Amino acid sequence: MKKTIISFLPFLFLLALVPVTALADSATEATERIKDRLAQVDSMKASGEVGEDAFGFLAPRSELGPRQKSIVESENADRRIIYEAIASRAGQTMEAVGQQRAIQIATRARSGVWLQKPDGEWYQKP
């Protein structure tokens, strides 16, 4: 019995790593998709169609067409995957990671981009 348990230990160890590896792979894929749509997202932010909310996600600032809605939904889904992966590694909540990312985004945003303060107020970056 003891020998059987010992022979399964490496398998159990590898099995425990699968979710972490899968999460990392998902985050890597999400990062690539974000890079692929960066020009579209930047264009939508520059036109004021979308802004960056206080939780690290894109938010519509005007009525969006189906294509723009799809871009925003895809972007936010990929950001959520990345935030969850970071939260898992850092022992934080996904919400905390998103809020920290929102601060970084606001700091690096170009002039004219709509940003949301933690209290919900929207402003255009000077």
For residue range 12-56, list pLDDT tens digits in order: 343 444 454 555 679 999 999 999 999 999 999 999 999 999 999
Q: Where are the alpha helices (DSSP H) in the chain?
A: 2-36, 38-47, 66-90, 94-108
Tokens of residue 84, six digits: 């969850």
pTM of the complete model: 0.80
Provide the percentage of residues in the chain whose pLDDT is more than 90: 80
Sheet bearing 122-124, strands edge to edge? 58-60, 50-52, 114-116, 122-124
